[in-house]
Amino acid sequence: MLFLIRFLVVFTLLLAGCTFTNETFAQARPTQESTADTISPIQSLVSFATRHLHIPYRSGGSSKKGFDCSGFVRYCFNQWNVALPHSSAAQAQHGEEVELDNAKPGDLIFFKGNSTKSKRIGHVGIITEVAPGYVKFIHSAWKGGIRYDLLNAAYYSKRFVAVKRLFP
Whether 89 contacts 137, CB under 8 Å: no
Q: How many domains are there within the chain? A: 1
Residue 88 is which amino acid?
Answer: S
The H or E element containing residue 77 is helix 69-78
Decide if 86 is catalytic: no
Start-to-end C-alpha separation, the chain: 39
pLDDT attached to residue 159: 97
pLDDT attached to residue 23: 33
**How many other CB atoms are there within 10 angstroms of residue 107's CB atom?**
26
Question: Is 168 in a helix, a strand, or coil?
Answer: coil
Could you list the residue range(s) of the whole structural domain that residue 24 is in?
Answer: 2-165
Decide if 69 is catalytic: yes
Give the pTM: 0.78
pLDDT attached to residue 38: 65
Give the CATH number of the domain where residue 40 resides. Answer: 3.90.1720.10
Decide if 18 is catalytic: no
**How many other CB atoms are there within 10 angstroms of residue 18's CB atom?**
24
Residue by residue, pLDDT tens for the chain (168 residues) are 333 333 333 333 333 333 333 333 334 444 444 434 567 889 999 999 999 999 999 999 999 999 999 999 999 999 999 999 999 999 999 999 999 999 999 999 999 998 888 889 999 999 999 999 999 999 999 999 999 999 999 999 999 999 999 987
pLDDT attached to residue 28: 47
Burial class (CB in 10 A: 0-12, 13-18, 19+), 117: exposed
Q: Identify which of 46, 75, 53 has the alpha carbon closest to the alpha carbon of residue 144.
A: 53
Task: Find the catalytic residue in 18, 52, 54, 69.
Answer: 69
Task: Find the catalytic residue in 18, 54, 94, 139.
Answer: 139
Which residue pairs, CB below 8 angstroms and at least 24 apart, start in 55-59?
A: 55/140, 55/145, 55/146, 56/145, 57/140, 57/141, 57/142, 57/143, 57/144, 57/145
